[in-house]
Amino acid sequence: MLKCRMIAESGNNLGTVNTDQAEKIEEGLAIMRKDGQSALAERQYVRVHAQALNGDKGFILEQDIQPVESLPKIADLSAAEQAHYREIGLANLSRVAVVKGNGGLATGMKLDKAKNLIEVKPGVTFLDVIARQTVRDHTNLVLMNSDSTDADTKEYLEKNRPEGFGYSSFMQGRFPRLDRDLRPVTGLGDAGFNPSGTGGFYTSLLTEQRANANGEILNLLESLISDGNEWMFFSNGDNLGATVDPVILGYMIEHKSPFIMEVAERTPNDVKGGHLVYTMVEGEERLTLREGGQVSPEDIDPRTGKTYGEDINRHKFFNTNNLWYHLPTLLQILKQYDGVLPLSLVLNPKGELYQLETVIGTIIDLISGAGAVVVGKDRFAPVKKYDDLFLLWSDVYVLDAAGNMSINPRRAQSLLPVIKLDKNYFGDPKSFADRVDINNAPSMLNASSLTVIGDVSFGHNVKIMGDVIIENNTGRPQHIPDGFGLFGHSDAVFSWDEQGNIVVKK
């Protein structure tokens, strides 16, 4: 019982854990101590592991929430309002710390290096674009690396540092992976760990040491504040649409907002992501982020047969993970919870194992007065799979010298094309590059969708228009020749006859 009590106390009075549960938590703590994790990280681990052991799967049920009907839209601001907010934002850019999540190895894309080292346009990587944006905005960049990306990132930036560019970095924390009995696995080395989730960022703010401008060694958050940073913008490094927008910054300053989450309107392509809801917190209705993994598969809408979380008409707004903070308020919140925020647990199944994770955006319901604004899809262009990279390489997106990645103004359609590539042939870096040339990717400017089934490669100056389905069932590789145009509609499929000619099947 002594061990149970000690573990419960280290987890901020989580309640009783039985002997078997205590042993599992203690095994995880021993692994974390051997790994050199901080005492604060250990306390966060105890909290989430105990939650999982007590049957908390992190679900937020429909009966406990209310939908968010409307939110302020940046696009609805008048020209005068935008100019006013922009003026305020531009005057305060130098007081903004920019943090980019750079921990992704994109195992789903079968990469063996940091995802942010992928080229997004010929000769230009994610990190190159981030560096250009940093120099342009004169902001203070901090990279949140992981053990999988830290060395690659530092080596690349040492060789490819633009004039005037500077940055600092820290390592994202990690938790032991768990077996199906929620016991920490052993004997797997680094593979026995998973990143603690983006929510581990808050732990790092208090545990990572950094010298401020005066040479004082402080924790990362206090160091940023002491250097004159009053606001912070966090986004994922693979989302090149997430720049420091002076209009949103000015809006935040004018309204004295302690926290703002950028959200976008959900479309059929955004069914699985996290969305905003309202919950009651301390007697106050607050915005709450419900991640896809927090939607119970048994919480079914009887009218549709699908989960309530999939209803994009009921739950209209998804989290872009572009987050704005007032740093003194954030420091106050962290002190209020003694450094261990009660972030929602996500128990993430990965094959035969589980990962304990917390999510950075779930802090929103801990901050009284936190808000959200609706932004356009131009501020949300992440790369999670090769479908996304295909679109980024195409002419739908244009990149300028200052680091602005934006939707091509020549594209008439408001929605982005939906891309579905055959994972058997577009599932790893070499296979993808063998079939798509970054220097001459197919034009998608007038495309609504593209589906590729089978082994297909694309020549130069290929144009995709409308809704195009390409199916290669010949049993051998096929090629779309240079200069070929494909104009599709819903009941047509492009394929090949026995002579290797492209034909249209209906």
Amino acid residing at 149: T
Q: Please state whether 36 falls in left (phi above 0), alpha (psi between -120 and 50) or beta.
A: left
Q: Across the chain, what does the average pLDDT equal? A: 92
323: three-class secondary structure by DSSP? strand
DSSP type of residue 306: E
- The strand pair at 140-145 and 167-171 is best described as parallel
**Confidence check: pLDDT of 369 > 90:** yes
Q: What is the mean pLDDT of residues 134-153?
A: 91
**Confidence check: pLDDT of 4 > 80:** no
Residue whose C-alpha is closest to residue 497's, from 467, 472, 461, 479: 472
CA distance 23 to 477: 55
Angle made by CA atoms 102, 312, 447, in degrees to the nearest 5: 70
What percentage of the chain reaches a pLDDT higher than 90? 78
Confidence of residue 15 (pLDDT cuts 50, 70, 90): low
What percentage of the chain reaches a pLDDT higher than 70? 96
- 58 contacts: CB under 8 Å, gap ≥ 6: 51, 291, 293, 294, 344, 345, 346, 347
pLDDT tens, 166-225?
999 998 899 999 999 999 999 999 889 998 989 999 999 999 999 988 999 999 999 999
Place of tokens 């974390």: 32
Domains 62-379 and 386-505 share a fold: no
Q: What is the mean pLDDT of residues 160-170?
A: 91
Q: State the burial class of residue 190 (Cβ atoms within 10 Å of its Cβ: 0-12, 13-18, 19+).
A: exposed
pLDDT tens, 299-353?
999 999 999 999 999 999 999 999 999 999 999 999 999 999 999 888 888 889 9
pLDDT tens, 33-87?
999 999 999 999 999 999 999 988 788 999 999 999 999 999 999 999 999 999 9
| pLDDT at res. 55 | 87
Contact assessment for residue 163 and residue 212, using Cβ atoms and an 8 Å cutoff: no
Residue 261 CA, chain-centre distance (Å), reads 13
CA distance 266 to 2: 49
Residue whose C-alpha is closest to residue 69's, from 278, 270, 301, 262: 278
169: three-class secondary structure by DSSP? strand
| pLDDT at res. 381 | 85
DSSP type of residue 30: H
What ranges do the domains of the chain cover? 2-53, 62-379, 386-505
| 384 part of the active site | yes
Contact assessment for residue 58 and residue 35, using Cβ atoms and an 8 Å cutoff: no
Domain 62-379 - what CATH class? alpha beta
Domain topology for 386-505: UDP N-Acetylglucosamine Acyltransferase; domain 1 (2.160.10)
The catalytically annotated residue of 110, 154, 384, 385 is 384
Q: Output the pTM of the full model.
A: 0.91
Confidence of residue 5 (pLDDT cuts 50, 70, 90): very low
Confidence of residue 357 (pLDDT cuts 50, 70, 90): very high
- 383 contacts: CB under 8 Å, gap ≥ 6: 106, 115, 118, 120, 126, 238, 389, 392
